[in-house]
Amino acid sequence: MTTSITIRRPDDWHLHLRDGAMMEGVLPYTARQFARAIVMPNLAPPVVQADQAAAYRDRIEAALPRGVDFTPLMTAYLTDDTDPDDIERGFRDGIWVAAKLYPAGATTNSASGVTDVEKIDAVLARMEKIGMPLLTHGEVTSSDIDIFDREAVFIDRVAVPMLKRHPGLKFVFEHITTKDGADFVADGDARMAATITPQHLMINRNAIFAGGINPHAYCLPVAKREMHRLAVRKAATGGSGKFFLGTDSAPHTKSAKESACGCAGIFNAPHALECYAQVFEEENALDRFEAFASLDGPRFYGMAPNEETVTLEKVGQDVPEEIVSGGEVVVPFRAGQRIDWKLLD
Ligand SMILES: NC(=O)N[C@@H](CC(=O)O)C(=O)O
Ligand SMILES: [Zn+2]
Ligand SMILES: [Zn+2]
């Protein structure tokens, strides 16, 4: 039995750090595990200009605990009015590494997102030309489409035609939750990849309703049926190289979650790497853990993997019921439950 595993230090390719006191509170959890993270731009107001992204990056760097080595990788929030020249300039200046497509209304702080991808065709053409990846929240939003089908319908209605129009566009299908998403990326060409969260590997949609309504199991895309969870686990642990770690850690205060209209988002940062390790062990795939966590993401983004290493030991630990973060109470993923692995300091 494996009791300890050492891998190159991982990166988180999909993360919400928020801003202000919340950011200062949650950042140390990520920075202790990951060397780099793709920081999502869905602040209120969103990060649409390069100077906003640079200022946000500076606030993150200023909030880092002393001596912690962590690099935030910034992203641009696309809107119907995004100017291709602004996107290219921010990319060439090294301020942002990718741009994020939120279909308008699809998720938290997506109200200024894109209403129709054809409206950003010129931006996508430019990104294709300069080799800048498009990161996508892949769900349609129309009210006649069942919430559990929104990812699958996005593939047919949006992703397929868009990728046909832009055959060289690097594309990350963020936080996939379905067999449809996994198959689409696995069967696609090499410019396609996907991130996978701990929660979509560990819970199915029953978790949202187990014994009552569980707001802390609610995120978007919403967890799906068991057969989808199993397909996503296969994708993550199968060694294809196209699926890599992206936690989608998305903190909301306990009161914003436990409300008549609770926010979407799961705060998994405190034990993300340990949760992934548990899944890989359960799938007898610990030999592929390092590729998923530390190698395949950098390769897709054209970056070198990290040189340092981290070690996890198989000693159980209990996840706290809540975490006080920047003066706010936040409930972590797996709160009150036991997890199998522990990341050593
Ligand atoms: N995943 C979520 O449920 N929420 C994210 C947004 C997102 O990634 O869609 C958030 O910012 O809260
Ligand atoms: Zn999303
Ligand atoms: Zn997200």
Nearest ligand to residue 200 Cα: 1
Instruction: Express each pLDDT in 257-278 by its tens digit.
Output: 999 999 999 999 999 999 999 9
Rounded Cα–Cα distance for residues 312 and 291 (Å): 15
Q: pLDDT at position 232, please?
A: 99
CATH level 3 topology of 10-304: TIM Barrel (3.20.20)
Each residue's pLDDT, cut to its tens digit, for the chain (345 residues) gives: 889 999 999 999 999 999 999 999 999 999 999 999 999 999 999 999 999 999 999 999 999 999 999 999 999 999 999 999 999 999 999 999 999 999 999 999 999 999 999 999 999 999 999 999 999 999 999 999 999 999 999 999 999 999 999 999 999 999 999 999 999 999 999 999 999 999 999 999 999 999 999 999 999 999 999 999 999 999 999 999 999 999 999 999 999 999 999 999 999 999 999 999 999 999 999 999 999 999 999 999 999 999 999 999 999 999 999 999 778 899 999 999 999 999 998
User: How many other β-carbons are positioned within 10 Å of the β-carbon of residue 256?
Assistant: 15
Catalytic residue, candidates 248, 287, 296, 318: 248
**Is 202 in contact with 279 (CB distance < 8 Å)?**
yes
Q: Which residue has the tokens 């070690």?
A: 311
Q: Is 100 in the pocket of ligand 1 (CB under 6 A)?
A: no
Q: pLDDT at position 10, please?
A: 99
Q: pLDDT at position 326, please?
A: 74
Q: pLDDT at position 306, please?
A: 98
Mutate to test the pocket of ligand 1, among 15, 16, 47, 102 (most ligand atoms within 8 A of CB): 16
* Helices and strands per DSSP (H, E), number in the chain: 14, 15
Domain spans in the chain, listed from the N-terminal domain onward: 10-304
Q: pLDDT at position 168, please?
A: 98
Helices 272-282, 20-33: crossing angle, 10 deg rounding = 40
Annotated binding site for Zn(2+): 14, 16, 100, 137, 175, 248
Measured over the CA atoms of residue 291, residue 297, residue 302 and residue 307, the dihedral's sign is negative
Q: pLDDT at position 49, please?
A: 98
Annotated binding site: 14, 16-18, 42, 100, 137, 175, 220, 248, 252, 264
In this prediction the ipTM stands at: 0.99
Q: Is 248 a catalytic residue?
A: yes
Instruction: Express each pLDDT in 112-169 by its tens digit.
Output: 999 999 999 999 999 999 999 999 999 999 999 999 999 999 999 999 999 999 999 9
Mutate to test the pocket of ligand 1, among 110, 176, 220, 330 (most ligand atoms within 8 A of CB): 220
Q: Is 334 in the pocket of ligand 1 (CB under 6 A)?
A: no
Rounded Cα–Cα distance for residues 255 and 331 (Å): 10
Q: pLDDT at position 325, please?
A: 78
Q: Are strands 328-330 and 71-77 parallel, antiparallel or unpaired?
A: unpaired
Rounded to 5°, angle at Cα 130 from 140 and 120:
30
Q: pLDDT at position 159, please?
A: 98
